Chains A and B, each alone.
Chain A
């Protein structure tokens, strides 16, 4: 009987460990490390998509070409559990390398889910300086009365564009 107990224990323990290992393997491959299957990818379709095989079709998932690795675009990884809750990242690939990693999902200390990627943070005037001289056709500002309109930038644009 003791032999049975020993053998049974070894068998049961080994099975449990294998199950645990298997469960862990799928965690490792779904956290975006391998990037083999873009989950919910959105291609940004702006400048310089250099992969010839993927035509810029609107928003459909493109299979990564085998040779050169993942095609340019933004990939969203699956949600991973951490001590505070779930973390989800998106990765932007340009010209074959990762140019940006954004956290999409995070919980704060209170355990609430936070879209931390999109909180407003202080910025310098210099960061917006360049865009001030771009060509625009409309100006958004607090609602102007008809009177105020006449001396606004918008009226100048309207005159130019009419």
Chain B
């Protein structure tokens, strides 16, 4: 059953079995709380209050500090390619809190025992750990629905109404995040340089949506070197599109491409 929520400046698409419709409300609350705390477009959000000095960082909520700390860890890990600090000094956590919200929502669904689900917030997708080595074998009912839930397409940055490819999201690759330079989010800072980026779009597939989101951002910011570094240091799959439309992909990603028209 598909549910659509407008939240966090974008649109979230949720797929849950029809009997789990109540869970959607819980997820909505999670997203809303995130928005109210972290949106820089709301003057009364906690992050805005810190940005204009009305609230000092030391007096901020634990939730905010936890997100900030996590963002800083990622800044260190990516060598500043991902950073919560805007050039004007404002702390902008939107690069991480969207994914954190998805992560929270997913944990909620798992704790509640929902067998099969997907959460897509503005292009960041997390699916239930259905199938795969450590997952529970899917229930026999609605087998086709299950398989469709596990398939995600990747948008083609040069042809907006078409897909670049589609792949199967299966543990340990059940989260995918895509970052683009054509549509620059405020959280991609390229160290102040104005040179055009090497990749116009990067999608990272791994098991954890925050990692996928951060690393996709970092690779767009850092180009080929960042792509190699990320592939070396993290257990992820990546597909990247450059300005000419040429593709680069990790072998693992190729293996996980969905077969043509098959619903197994």
Task: Give residues in A with beta carbon < 8 Å to B.
Answer: 42-43, 45, 58-59, 102, 114-115, 117-125, 127-128, 130-146, 148-149, 151-155, 157-158, 161-162
Kindly provide the distance from the CB of A71 to the nearest chain B CB, expressed in whole angstroms: 15
> Which of A132, A134, A138, A151 contacts B125, CB < 8 Å?
A138
> Which of A58, A121, A140, A151 contacts B134, CB < 8 Å?
A58
Contact status A121-B11, CB under 8 Å: no
The total of interchain contacts (Cβ-Cβ below 8 angstroms) comes to 193
| A-facing residues in B208-264 (Cβ within 8 Å) | 227-228, 231-232, 235-240, 245-252, 254, 257-263
Q: Give CA–CA (A158, B10) in the complex, Å.
A: 14
Apart from the given pairs A134-B260, A140-B124, 20 other A-B contacts in the complex at a CB distance below 8 Å = A58-B134, A59-B133, A118-B232, A118-B235, A119-B228, A120-B227, A121-B250, A127-B257, A134-B153, A134-B258, A135-B258, A137-B151, A139-B154, A139-B155, A140-B125, A140-B176, A142-B201, A143-B122, A144-B183, A146-B10
Contact status A120-B2, CB under 8 Å: no
Q: Which residues of A contact B191 (CB under 8 A)?
A: none
The segment from B29-37, B65-73, B82-90, B160-168 found at the interface with A is: B160-168
Does any Cβ of A come within 8 Å of B120's Cβ?
yes
> Could you list some 21 contacts between A and B, CB below 8 A?
A115-B232, A118-B236, A118-B237, A122-B248, A127-B257, A133-B260, A135-B261, A136-B151, A136-B153, A138-B151, A140-B152, A141-B154, A142-B155, A142-B183, A143-B185, A145-B10, A146-B6, A149-B122, A153-B163, A154-B11, A154-B120
